[in-house]
Amino acid sequence: MTLLDEQLGADRTNPMVERTLEQKRRILRHRARLLARSTTRASDPEQNLNFVEFLLSGERYAVESVHVREVLVPSDITPVPCTPQHIHGIINVRGKIISVMDLRVLFGLPHNGPSPKDKVLILTSENMEFGILAEELVGAETAALDAVHPPPSTMQDGRGTYLRGIIGTDLILLDAVKLLSDPTLLVNEES
């Protein structure tokens, strides 16, 4: 058995475990991508950006990890009457009531009903805390700061205000600081 067969889990004595050439290539491409990422992570940590990636309407979005307190499986999101449409409702997180925002509504993106893959990312800053609804959590990643490019002028729609940049060709990096400090997103009826 070669080292490659051993790494791929192939067992010459059991033909049922043998991998096809395409499966081996797919595994090797995946490992190459992981190795390429690890060199970025090994560089100066101050030159890296850690972020949490998630999906909204099939598009890839991310927010800096430093602003994500936790990720929850949404249970019992309670709608609140007389609130803006982008406020999906509120949840109770260990005795603390937190608003949940649906960025798809805020950004004018299409969306379907709830899905079992839905998650709530709790964003936090010194002065604000709320959840954002995500269709699916992709994971935590790292990219070099110089990999963040300004958003194209074609993205100056409803999301433009909250965009920090684009990573690669299709990962939209949201500006969590702007989201967390925008007074127009707050619902405050106190006088």
Structural domain spans, the chain? 3-42, 45-185
Closest CA to 75 of 128, 131, 125, 124: 131
For CA atoms 101, 106, 109, 113, give the dihedral sign. positive
Question: Structure pTM?
Answer: 0.71
The pLDDT of residue 63 is: 95
Residue 111: exposed, middle, or buried by beta-carbon count in 10 A (0-12, 13-18, 19+)?
middle
CB of 171 closer than 8 Å to CB of 53: yes
Give the model's pLDDT for residue 22: 83
Q: Say how many C-beta atoms besides its own lie within 10 A of residue 146's C-beta.
A: 8
Predicted confidence (pLDDT) per residue in 121-157, tens digit:
999 998 889 999 999 999 999 998 888 988 877 766 6
- Which of 3.40.50.1000, 3.30.300.30, 1.10.3720.10, 2.40.50.180 would CATH assign to domain 45-185? 2.40.50.180
C-alpha 155, offset from chain centre: 18
What pLDDT shows up at residue 40? 47
Q: Report residues of the chain scoring pLDDT below 70.
A: 1-18, 36-45, 155-159, 186-191
* Per-residue confidence (pLDDT) for residue 24, from 0 to 100: 83
Rounded Cα gap, residues 164 and 64, in angstroms: 10
DSSP string, 161-182: GGEEEEETTTEEEE-HHHHHH-
Q: What is the pLDDT of residue 158?
A: 60
Look up residue 189 and give its two tokens: 């009826």
Helix (H) / strand (E) element for 37: namely helix 21-42
CA dist list (Å): 125 to 47, 53, 65, 114: 22, 19, 12, 27
Predicted pLDDT at 84: 87
Model pLDDT, residue 114: 76
Tokens of 135: 């269709």
